[in-house]
Amino acid sequence: MRINKKRNEFLEQLKKIPIISVACEKAGLSRNTIYRWRKEDGDFRKIMETALVEGEALVNDMSESQVLTLIKEKNLSAICLWLRHHHPTYRNRLEVTAVVPQEELTPEQAALVREALRLSATHVDIINNNKINHAEQQNNIEKIDGLDDQGSESPNSNN
């Protein structure tokens, strides 16, 4: 019975503060004991995981409440934090630019690309109820057709 009481005390502490070492200290248990119980008892492991999730939810709620209080006090850092995480315009973005070297296509590859463009245009045409930009599709196919049999541009191509 004493073990169950200690386990319950630990789990209650974990729900309040989802840090295992802090909950151990408050319950008067060692981390080794908790990890041993967790390893040996699948039910305890599940209950412990649930307690951790509940504790994290509690801390998240408290944190969000504090951020809202700071926003009301016109704290710019809190305002920025909130907007960055809750408004798409203010999210952090990473822009990647790179120069990709143009690789020459083999005749087989060029034929596959032409066929893929033809099939995708047909598929898009069906999806968009014949509202596809045919000039753009034709331009893409002509770019591929401008390649000679070795995959490089032919002298009479427009590229």
Residue by residue, DSSP assigns 6-54 as HHHHHHHHHHHS--HHHHHHHHT--HHHHHHHHHH-HHHHHHHHHHHHH
Percentage with pLDDT > 90 across the chain: 49
pTM over 0.75: no
Mean pLDDT of 61-72: 94
- Calpha distance 108→144 (Å, rounded): 12
Give yes or no for a contact between 38 and 48, defined as CB atoms under 8 angstroms apart. Answer: yes
Mean pLDDT of 83-95: 82
Whether 148 shows a pLDDT value over 50: the answer reads: no
Would you tell me the crossing angle of helices 42-72 and 31-40 to the nearest 10 degrees? 120
Q: Report, as an integer, the average pLDDT of 77-104.
A: 83
Asked whether 63 and 85 are in contact (CB, 8 A), the reply is no
pLDDT for position 90: 82
